Amino acid sequence: MALRCSISRPVQNVQSRARGAGIPRESSDTSLCLSIIRGFGSDTALESWQDDDVHKLEAHMTDIAVQIILTAEIGYRESALRRYEWRVQRKAELEEEERKRKLESERAEKERQRRIEQARIDRLLRDAAAFQQAGAIRKFVETIRLAQAIDTTLSSDELEQWSQWAFAQADRIDPSIGRRFLKAMEDEEAMKK
């Protein structure tokens, strides 16, 4: 809301004598206009008063004061309503952003849990394969020892040296020795904390 006041004068000049000096001057006949406009820079008048032949602008002062207060109150309430609507909209936007963030966080956590579980399964399959390989190595060594008991072309020292090396390799890859199959799960639990 803004106020605009304008003064208009008659187009023709009326001459009169000012205190007998004989100096011509403009007439004191002026027309005042007061308008309540929508806002600064606006040409839309919400209410307007002006001097006329019957009433001077000053006669409308009560109406003008009431209309100024009423217009200011309406403007204030409209502004308060716009601010309230903006806050409601902004709150809804923030809540939606928070909801999306939570969903993304939950999705990321589920994906992380899925990767951990898949890593456990992969580790279990690797351990099972290593266990089978270790068993196959031990079985192979025992088969060679039995075959050498019948065919003695290989010296017992060479056979023993090779057997110890082969058993050491089987022990190295066997996850059941030293509870290595549990160590992977213990390491994963430590990483979660």
Sheet holding 45-50, edge to edge: 2-8, 31-37, 45-50
Mean pLDDT value of segment 157-161: 87
Overall domain count for the chain: 1
Residue 22 inside a domain? The answer is: no
Q: Is 138 exposed, middle or buried (0-12, 13-18, 19+ CB in 10 A)?
A: middle
CB 184 within 8 Å of CB 123: yes
Instruction: Write down the pLDDT at residue 145.
Output: 87
Helices (H), the chain: 61-150, 156-173, 180-192
29 pLDDT higher than 80 = no
| The residue count for the chain | 193
User: In angstroms, rounded to a whole number, what is the distance separating the alpha carbons of residues 139 and 36?
Assistant: 105
**Of the candidates 119, 123, 117, which has an alpha carbon nearest to the alpha carbon of residue 175?**
123
156 pLDDT higher than 90 = no
Residue 127 inside a domain? The answer is: yes
85 pLDDT higher than 80 = yes
Residue 14 inside a domain? The answer is: no
If one compares 4 and 89, the residue with the highest pLDDT of the two is 89
Q: By residue range, what is the domain housing residue 165?
A: 88-192
Residue 31 inside a domain? The answer is: no
Residue 150 inside a domain? The answer is: yes
